[in-house]
Amino acid sequence: MDNYIVSARKYRPSTFHSVVGQKSLTTTLKNAIQNNKLAHAYLFCGPRGVGKTTCARIFAKTINCLNLRQDGEACNECESCQAFNENRSYNIYELDAASNNSVDDIRSLTDQVRIPPQIGRYKVYIIDEVHMLSTQAFNAFLKTLEEPPHHALFILATTEKHKIIPTILSRCQIYDFSRISINDIVDNLECIAKNENIAYEREALNTIAQKADGGMRDALSIFDQVASFSEGNVTYKSVIENLNVLDYEYYFRLTEMFLAGNVSQSLLILNEILNKGFDGQHIVTGLASFFRDTLVCKDPQTIVLFEVGDSIKEKYLNLSQQCTNEFLYKSIELSNECDLNYRYSKNKRLLIELLFIRLCRLKPQMSPVDGKKKMTIGPIVEPEPANPAPALQKEPVVGKTPPTSGIKSISKVSLKNTSADKAPENIQEDGNSPKIVLEETFAQEDLVKSWKEYAIREEDAHLKNTILNVTPQLQENNLIRIPVFNPDQQRKLISKEKEIKDFLSSQLKNTQIRLVIEITEDSKEYVPYSNRDKFTFMAEKNPVLVTLVKNFNLILD
């Protein structure tokens, strides 16, 4: 037990070749060493656990190697390499800037810079988390960093490059470390599992790599944790149980319910997931990522963006063939909208349930032309009753008489003509799309009532208030004049003009109405006062305010 070393330390790379996922950077460093073109200061920046400090140590070890190999690697046999491997080298000085960030710490460092190395050519100073240095410490370090002795070399490492002052950045060669790809992490974990005689499933290692988010150190820590939990048998089931990861099978089941339009089963699956203790927002973000991955699988050109195991990828490919692009586009949009609103929702479970209901309503329907499945974005059309009433925009079958049941108080609609070769009266034909014309008379009170009903239905709070503050006026020949107070209100109402007209036509049983949205002279009295207008008004009431402004040199905002 005393000799146990965690994998992140035990398998820490000791050569450039063993560094995972940073091939371009390690090649650049090796070429600089071989060509003897070393800078006096380097800045290694990037996410946590991607090899910044490791590469700094390997670089310091290699440039001091007394018998450098042909491939640019250290020999690991000379006195300098052995001292480094045994952690007793005096040529490498490491400073943790998170706890040593004062001016005195930097002055102590600059005093040591004058001392030449005992063995080798260079004395390397590695400053980790350099962004934690204070501004005064940065300024005290500038001169030494710009013109150090020929035997001194500085390597700065940070995860937050934007916090370093520009004068420091300009004095360094900057190396940006990238996140390690999932495949590289999985391959490295496989090698470690074989060395440790640990049984594993590649899907389990893939899940660990995704959880690590591009950090090799995090992946090794998770691997040790799961290996202890599963007693040396790392399976997919043990990983998701130990890490509290939502099984992707739930997303496959949910998508099947969405495609089938089965609301009740999708809500039962949601209840099952919530009972396992998963956070609601985690479900929503995971679902959005699942739809994104499914969309990526549909196109051979974008499938390279999908980094999962082969067995999981096969399931995604099969599902992607069942989903249309329109369904996936709308599903991602709805999921992202739910994610944005989740934080501010008071009933978070209801918000997710509404998302599932909307996804179930994206039901595929058969195309009447080619018989293929196509996606209808919007509500599912329910079966109509035996004698339906003619609704707004309802298109009757050409050549047949529209049904008359349920029509009330329609003053100018005549449905007496039942001849198959003659169109009914007051039914206008627009190409091949005949539409019923309703011309029931209505009063100003009916118009105002319907106008308020539309305002209640409006989801946009700002537009809702605008509609409630405006009173439409009924003119002659079914003309409705809508006075607004400013151009912004006019623009918003014009963008909703068709929707408003359709709603009013349905409520007032009149398809002949016309809307005129305009800014009138009467609306000028409703223009809000500016700060200067308010001050002028108050100054007229109390002239002392003018003297106050002059005495204190106040500026009106």
Query: How would you write 428-461 as a 3-class SS string?
Result: EEECCEEEECCECCCCHHHHHHHHHHHHHHCCCH
Q: Is the pLDDT of residue 307 over 80?
A: no
Please report, as a single letter, which amino acid is at residue 422. Answer: K
- Which pLDDT belongs to residue 101? 85
Distance CA 19, CA 61 (A): 14
Q: Is the pLDDT of residue 416 over 80?
A: no
Q: Is the pLDDT of residue 183 over 90?
A: no
In tens, the pLDDT along 326-378 reads: 899 999 999 999 999 898 888 999 999 999 999 998 865 433 434 445 444 44
Q: Is the pLDDT of residue 302 over 90?
A: no
- Which pLDDT belongs to residue 309? 61
Cα 488 versus chain centre, distance: 31
Q: Is 126 helix (H, G, I), strand (E, B) or coil?
A: strand
Higher pLDDT, residue 306 or 378? 306
Q: What is the largest CA-CA distance in the chain?
A: 112
Q: Which helix (H) or strand (E) element contains residue 519? A: strand 514-519
Specify the CATH class of 7-176 in words.
alpha beta
Q: What is the mean pLDDT of the chain?
A: 80
Query: Cβ(91)–Cβ(122) under 8 Å?
Result: yes
Distance CA 254, CA 271 (A): 12
Distance CA 108, CA 276 (A): 55
**CATH architecture designation of domain 444-526:** 2-Layer Sandwich (3.30)
- Which pLDDT belongs to residue 354? 93
In tens, the pLDDT along 259-290 reads: 988 999 999 999 999 988 888 888 999 899 88
pTM of the shown model: 0.58
Angle at 62 between CA 58 and CA 66, to 5 degrees: 150
* pLDDT tier at 254, thresholds 50, 70, 90: very high
* pLDDT tier at 517, thresholds 50, 70, 90: confident
Distance CA 152, CA 142 (A): 14
High-pLDDT (> 70) share of the chain, %? 82
* pLDDT tier at 522, thresholds 50, 70, 90: low
**CATH architecture designation of domain 182-243:** Orthogonal Bundle (1.10)
Distance CA 308, CA 300 (A): 15
High-pLDDT (> 90) share of the chain, %? 18
- Which pLDDT belongs to residue 14? 86
- Which pLDDT belongs to residue 422? 40
Burial class (CB in 10 A: 0-12, 13-18, 19+), 305: exposed
Higher pLDDT, residue 428 or 437? 437
Q: Is the pLDDT of residue 170 over 70?
A: yes
- Which pLDDT belongs to residue 419? 38
Return the domain boundaries, the chain: 7-176, 182-243, 248-373, 444-526
Q: What residues have CB less than 8 Å from 275, skipping those under 6 apart?
A: none
* pLDDT tier at 488, thresholds 50, 70, 90: confident
- CATH topology for the 248-373 domain: Zinc Finger, Delta Prime; domain 3 (1.20.272)
